[in-house]
Amino acid sequence: MCGRFQIDIDEQRLIEIFGTAEIADFQRRWNVAPTQRVLAVREREGVREAASLRWGLVPFWADDESIGNRLINARAETARSKPAYRAAFASRRCLIPATGFYEWKQVAPKRKQPFLITPRAGEVLAFAGLWERWTKGSEPLETCTILTTEASDDLRALHDRMPVVLPPAAWDAWLTSENADELEAMLAPLPPGSLESVPVSTRVNSPANEGASVAEPLADVDPETGEERTLFP
């Protein structure tokens, strides 16, 4: 799954990479959480735009926007056919830029260790996303979800799922193609060696914690020798 990520990159560099116009109110973030606003790249009338969407998809037919709290991720294997996602899959797809995402590994019966996963090459990841516009409230609400697939070899020891990361060569087709079979074929794990992971502080567990320190690699130092120890034997 994908329940937390970061976007630590210069705004101008994002514009250059994704080919959008100026990004309104852009801020670097190190602990982006569900129900918060996220940056999404979509194409409308032949032009790429950067949009601010709430993370947690609210289908256009929903009676209550709270359904979005449960729809932060969509399984790639079923998004094409599931009622909550199929309309968006057909015509409202987006890219969600990130410089890394977090996953938690069970290391003790009552303890999970968070890891930051980042690309080995390149500056940014582009998650495959879907977006929707909900108009049954007092004002229109635009929301999104992140597609997930089975974990790549790099991450299988941490979790059995991961966000779908699309290579730049697939971005145009993901945003514009009308061929559902072509779109589904894109939703695969990354090749082995594409990602690396490091343990980080459990401060990331709380969405209230922000700042670059949340993503700093965790150093485990022996209090007697001062030497760095291996976190997990």
Model confidence pLDDT, tens digit, residues 46-59:
899 999 999 999 99
Whether residue 199 lies inside any domain: the answer is no
Residue 50 placed within a domain = yes
Residues 6+ apart with CB under 8 A from 225: none
Q: What is the pLDDT of residues 198-233, one digit of tens each?
A: 999 999 999 999 999 999 988 764 444 444 444 443
Which one is catalytic: 2, 43, 94, 142? 2
C-alpha–C-alpha distance, residues 218 and 154, integer Å: 19
Q: Is residue 225 assigned to a domain?
A: no
In a domain, 87, yes or no: yes
78 vs 85: CA distance, rounded Å: 9
Looking at the 3D structure of the chain, how many domains does it have?
Answer: 1
Report yes or no on 115 lying in a domain. no
CB of 197 within 8 A of CB of 101? no
Domain span including residue 59:
5-100+124-191
Given the residues 103, 132, 142, 210, the one annotated as active site? 103
Length of the chain: 233
Instruction: Establish whether 77 is a catalytic residue.
Output: no
The answer to whether position 57 is within a domain reads yes
- Which CATH number characterizes residue 174's domain? 3.90.1680.10
221 in a domain, yes or no? Answer: no
| Residue 113 located in a structural domain | no
Q: Apex CA 141: angle with CA 214 and CA 62, to 5°?
A: 110
Give percent above pLDDT 70 in the chain: 94
Q: Give the predicted TM-score (pTM) of the model.
A: 0.92
Catalytic, 2? Answer: yes
